[in-house]
Amino acid sequence: MLKKTLVVGLLAGCMSMPFLAQAGAQNLSLLNCTNKPSTVITNKGACSTSLPDGKGVTPANPYYPSCDNTAAWIVPGGDVDTACKFGSSGGVCTADVYMTNNCSGGIVATIKLHLDSGQIDVVQINDPNYHITSPSNWNVKITDNGNLSSSAK
């Protein structure tokens, strides 16, 4: 009986290791200053629309083209862990960004999120109408050419 309990305990421990290695992501703050919602596909997996409570769809900015008074959209750390748990390489989650509410259309940009530090790297911008920056760890800001032209006035 002790042998069976030990084997079951080891199997359970081994199966949970990938989840423990990626546990602990902080809340991710998304500031969408565009007039379109945004979604992502992480690690070539599922669309972020599958996250609970609608947290996987960043709504369009109600104050467009101004970004003033726009509240950041917060994705809880547990949801970040869920979205990134499969396919992450070396603790880095890769996200293809779409400016739609369902991951359709073209990939606007690709970003990488370092799960240990929250550092965000913009790998590639595919649509020159959009700009993605990371003002600090665990923070992403999306603007477009409409934001830029209105702030120049």
Could you read off the pLDDT of 70-124 as tens digits, one per residue? 899 999 999 999 999 888 888 999 999 999 999 999 999 999 999 999 999 999 9
Q: How many CB atoms lie within 10 A of CB 96?
A: 21
Give the pLDDT score at 113: 96
Residue 47 has pLDDT above 60, yes or no: yes
Residue 6 has pLDDT above 50, yes or no: no
Whole-model pTM: value is: 0.80
Position 69 confidence tier, pLDDT thresholds 50, 70, 90: confident
Q: How far apart are CA 58 and CA 54, in angstroms?
A: 8
Which of these, 101, 84, 93, lies nearest to 39 by C-alpha position? Answer: 101
Residue 21 has pLDDT above 80, yes or no: no
Domain boundaries, the chain: 23-151
DSSP class of residue 62?
T
What distances in angstroms separate CA 22 from CA 29, 48, 56, 84, 98, one per listed residue? 19, 18, 19, 8, 24
What distances in angstroms separate CA 45 from CA 49, 55, 66, one per listed residue? 12, 17, 33
Q: How far apart are CA 116 and CA 89, in angstroms?
A: 12
Helix (H) or strand (E) holding 140, with range, is strand 139-144
How confident is the model over 41-51, as a mean pLDDT?
Answer: 94
| The CATH number, out of the four listed (2.40.10, 2.60.40, 2.60.270, 2.40.128), of the domain defined by the range 23-151 | 2.60.270
